[in-house]
Every structure is written in C-alpha cells, then in structure tokens.
A and B are shown apart, each in its own frame.
Chain A
C-alpha cells in the first residue's frame, strides 16, 4: 500500500466536506482506479468524477497514470481564474 495526500478545491472541496485527506492506496493504482475508489467510498463525489481534473505532484494527470507513493494529489473542476 502507498500513502498519499489528496487535496480538494472549489466544488470538490464542498462535496468532500474537507480540504484534504490522507489515503492508503494500492501500489500501481491508476488515476482511473482512484476515481472509481472514491466514487464508491464517497458517493457525494461520484457525480463530479466525469469532469474532474486530477493532478499528481502539481502536474495534470490522466486516467492511465500510476500514482506514485508519497504523491500530492489534487482534485478540482476545470479552472476559472482571471
């Protein structure tokens, strides 16, 4: 198992009810696998998972990416700065 930190922003933070959490995840878990795991464990997040953006160590990551141990992950909606 790998320990990672997961940060939430904007709508994802509201739905998660927290700014961040520590997670134990299987080694070799992909971004897609993480989305599926969170959808099961936190049903309120499920409807966000189709459009959510995920970052690994502050870079955008995609479904097939494998999550490294100790990673800083973040989940958020498409950005709206400016």
Chain B
C-alpha cells in the first residue's frame, strides 16, 4: 500500500482535520503534528510586537523541496506512514497558523515525533519561502541563515 504524502503552498486556511484524515490509514495509531503561527508579541531576544507577516514562495521549487523533505523523512524513519507539509502564504495576522507538518505512524514510540521535528527544521532550511514582518516600527524581510550544500 502506498503511503500518502501531501505537500502544498496555499493562500487558504490550513484545515488540520482534513489533512489528518488524509494521512490516517487503518494501520495508523499516532500522529505528531507541528503547527507554527504568527507571534504577535516576541519576548525572546529583541522584544517587539508584530502587526502581521506577509509570506511569499517560489512555488514550483518550494513544492519540489517539500517533496524532498518528505523523501528524506521516509529514508530516516521508514516506519512513518503519512506525511503532510503545508505552508500558508499571503498576509497572516497574529495567532494564525502559517505552517503545518504532520507525520503518522502505527505507534507513538516509533520516532514519529522526531520525524515531524525534522520536517519543520528542514523546511526552514531549504524550502524557498520568505516572510516580511510588519511591525509598529516599520517593515523588514526576515532572512534565514542556512546556506544549502551541493545536492540539497
């Protein structure tokens, strides 16, 4: 049986129930879900408020890199059954979910938590998506730090 892999970049609201349903098989007993959302008030580091984030993506490449992240998860954790990787783009306000990574497996002690953690970490390294932060003080692009290596 083919395991389901879902990846998408969408301006629409992320529908957790729909995604979960699509990656749940009859053999599935556990899902590890990571969701990231817009933080309106930041206290770690340089404390500041955020009005909204505006996301953009290089969509065809971002979809290909999401598939690569899913392939990497399957190589490292062959026990993972379903994988969903979704990034919402456009103008997103505090408390709004922006990204979701979910991995399912038969049981919770299979590495499925690590698989989801790996998924969000890799998305933030290699998937071409950017966000501009708009704050009371002005706006600026958030730039990452990771420089991909050959073959990534």
Contact = CB atoms under 8 A, between A and B. Distances in A.
Interface of A: 7, 9-11, 14, 51, 53, 55, 58, 60, 62, 74, 76-82
Given A60-B152, A78-B143, A78-B147, A9 B98 contact: no
B116 interface: no
* Best-surrounded residue of B58, B60, B125, B147 (most CB of chain A within 10 A): B58
B128 to A, nearest CB: 5
A55 B148 CA distance: 11
Nearest to A58: B61
Q: Which of under 10, 10 to 19, 20 to 34, or 35 or more describes the interface residues of B?
A: 20 to 34
B57 A80 contact: no
Contacts of A78: 143-147
Interface of B: 36, 55-58, 60-62, 64, 87, 98-99, 120, 123-132, 141-148, 150, 152
Contact of A62 (B36, B131, B150): B150
B120 A82 contact: yes
A74 to B, nearest CB: 6
A74 B6 CA distance: 25
B67 to A, nearest CB: 12
Nearest to A60: B148
A40 to B, nearest CB: 24
A77 B148 contact: no
A57 to B, nearest CB: 9
Contacts of B152: 60
